[in-house]
Amino acid sequence: MTSSIETATEIRPFHVDIPDHDLDDLRRRVAATHWPEKETVDDESQGVPLAMIQELARYWATGYNWRRCEATLNTLPQFITEIDGLDIHFIHVRSQHEDALPLIVNHGWPGSIIEQLKIIDRLTDPTAYGGAAEDAFHLVVPSMPGYGFSGKPTSTGWGPERMGRAWAELMERLEYSRYVAQGGDWGAFVVDQMGLQAPEGLLAIHTNMPATVPADLDKASQAGERAPADLSGEERRAYEQLLRTYGQVEYARYMAARPQTLYGIADSPVGLAAWLLDHNDAEGQPAAAVVSALSRTASDTGELTRDEILDNITLYWLTNTGVSASRLYWEYKGGFFNAKGVSIPVAVSVFPGEQYQAPRSWTERAYPNLIYFNEVDKGGHFAAWEEPALFAAELRAAFGSLR
């Protein structure tokens, strides 16, 4: 093996070590924010309300402590390795249980690896969380290209297809010859692509944002047409939810068209925070789960807190990845929730707060090799972040049959 190849496939340990100067600069910028006037409505229909973002900014500049998040990240084994010309950052936690099932979990937008931190112990050390040793996973949590501590692509082409191939290469490099993959949001797009690519060793995928919509209904819902008369009750519910969602994704359409024009999310912390907060879930835009987290200062049970929201936003800020993350939308030219034709084994968990609740009927058609389907009673778009215990339990159950 030549040294250049060694360099290219090398796996280097990584520690987060943000200079004080960057944190000072962030606080200074937040404190110096030049604000717009208040929105002219009493609700969230014009975007993130002024009072909400001002309260968050106040805490960000005066109470929030990034070093706590950094310490948490640095207790985990983190690495960087170059794949397909790009540095990929990932967390890699091996379970103490040797026959644990290797699992790669993909975050989405406006998220990051921060979304997955609360499921790591639950998945890798199940006996400490009421599970059995046979439930254990070896866990790999990569940062998508252009996100967090991964490199930023300098040329076009890094869409979900290429990421899917990179994750297969990563798992091979980590010498996992049999593994499973999981994702929500963009992570769901990536695991669907992995399902289509069916790399050697990939046993199954689990998605919490399944792409199940039949082609005719996909077209009709995107065109804003009324629900056809022949839908079942839960299909009708899903269709109505899709209509709502398509009215809330102008942020996605914008990033798909003009990611570079968002200079403000590189230059203004508050501009970035507002942009990242204004993602929807079934209960609202900004997402109800995130809005309720903004007033939750602590949680013993894994509920999403204000600090976690800021950990994620601050990670985007400190890595200056607002724009590079947005480019993923530009890269992707495919459909959103349409069935993609994945034929390998697929497990699906349906969370009530997701963009739409995939009906079993559509799911069975979209994923003919469906090995698991479950509708849970709480949790939303950021399922792992909002309901880590439930989410971990879902993954154990979903992949149980493959061990």
- Among residues 145, 143, 177, 175, the alpha carbon closest in space to that of 159 is found at 145
Smallest gap, in angstroms, from Cβ of residue 242 to another protein? 17
Half-sphere exposure of 366 (CA within 13 A, CB side): 26
Smallest gap, in angstroms, from Cβ of residue 158 to another protein? 9
Contacting residue, 213, 238, 323, 370, with another protein by CB under 8 A: 323
Determine if 327 is a binding residue for another protein (CB under 8 A). Answer: yes
Smallest gap, in angstroms, from Cβ of residue 339 to another protein? 25
**Overall residue count recorded for the chain in this entry:** 403
Burial of 256 per CB tally in 10 Å (0-12, 13-18, 19+): middle
Contacting residue, 274, 290, 309, 392, with another protein by CB under 8 A: 274
- Among residues 209, 220, 228, the alpha carbon closest in space to that of 246 is found at 220
The smaller minimum CB distance to another protein, of residues 46 and 295, is found at: 46
- Beta-bridge partners for 12: 80
CA 362, 367, 372, 378 dihedral sign is negative
Binding mask 29-48 for another protein (x = CB under 8 A): ----xxxxxxxxx----xxx
The smaller minimum CB distance to another protein, of residues 41 and 132, is found at: 41
Determine if 254 is a binding residue for another protein (CB under 8 A). Answer: yes
Q: How far is CA 83 from the centre of its chain?
A: 20
- Long-range CB contacts (< 8 A, 24+ apart) of 22-31? 22/318, 23/66, 23/318, 26/269, 26/314, 26/317, 26/318, 27/60, 27/61, 29/268, 29/269, 30/57, 30/60, 30/61, 30/269, 30/270, 31/61
Contacting residue, 58, 250, 297, 299, with another protein by CB under 8 A: 250
Determine if 110 is a binding residue for another protein (CB under 8 A). Answer: no
The smaller minimum CB distance to another protein, of residues 36 and 233, is found at: 36
Burial of 288 per CB tally in 10 Å (0-12, 13-18, 19+): middle
Tell me which amino acid residue 198 is. Answer: A
Determine if 153 is a binding residue for another protein (CB under 8 A). Answer: yes
Determine if 266 is a binding residue for another protein (CB under 8 A). Answer: yes
Binding mask 46-65 for another protein (x = CB under 8 A): xxxxx--x------------
Smallest gap, in angstroms, from Cβ of residue 156 to another protein? 5
Determine if 23 is a binding residue for another protein (CB under 8 A). Answer: no
Which residues are near another protein by CB under 8 A? 33-41, 46-50, 53, 152-156, 250-251, 253-254, 257-268, 270-275, 277-278, 320, 322-324, 327, 330
